Amino acid sequence: MSDQRARPASTAELEAVFRRELPADRWAAAETAYALAVLHREQGDWTVSRTWVRQCLRLLDGFPDETEEQIATRRTAVGGVPLPGLLHEGVVRARFGDPD
């Protein structure tokens, strides 16, 4: 029996997850937006990747970031994409540059 968790999610699958998370859990949505930015970048779609970077940054803007507890990711990966241990504007900009 194969382990379905090992199969990376498609961008369409992750976008559906993002739409479900956004109204219910903004932090989870920020993590998923980060994963979508990574996936699109890996696929060479820089324009869409930057769109997801901007979305991630908008979501993170509403969260406190004074302590490591406040910026620690809750998941180690989303859709097969590893997440950084800490997620905040500086990490996102260091990994993707300025999205504008």
pLDDT in tens, 42-56: 999 999 999 999 999
Spatial distance between the Cα atoms of 28 and 44, rounded to a whole number of angstroms: 24
Domain ranges of the chain: 27-96
Q: Is the pLDDT of residue 2 over 60?
A: no
Predicted TM-score of the model (pTM): 0.91
99 pLDDT more than 90: no
Q: Which residue bears the tokens 């970077």? A: 53
CA dist 70 and 21 (Å) reads 19
At residue 30, the pLDDT reads 98
Reply yes or no on whether the pLDDT at 20 is more than 80.
Answer: yes
- The pLDDT of residue 6 is 53
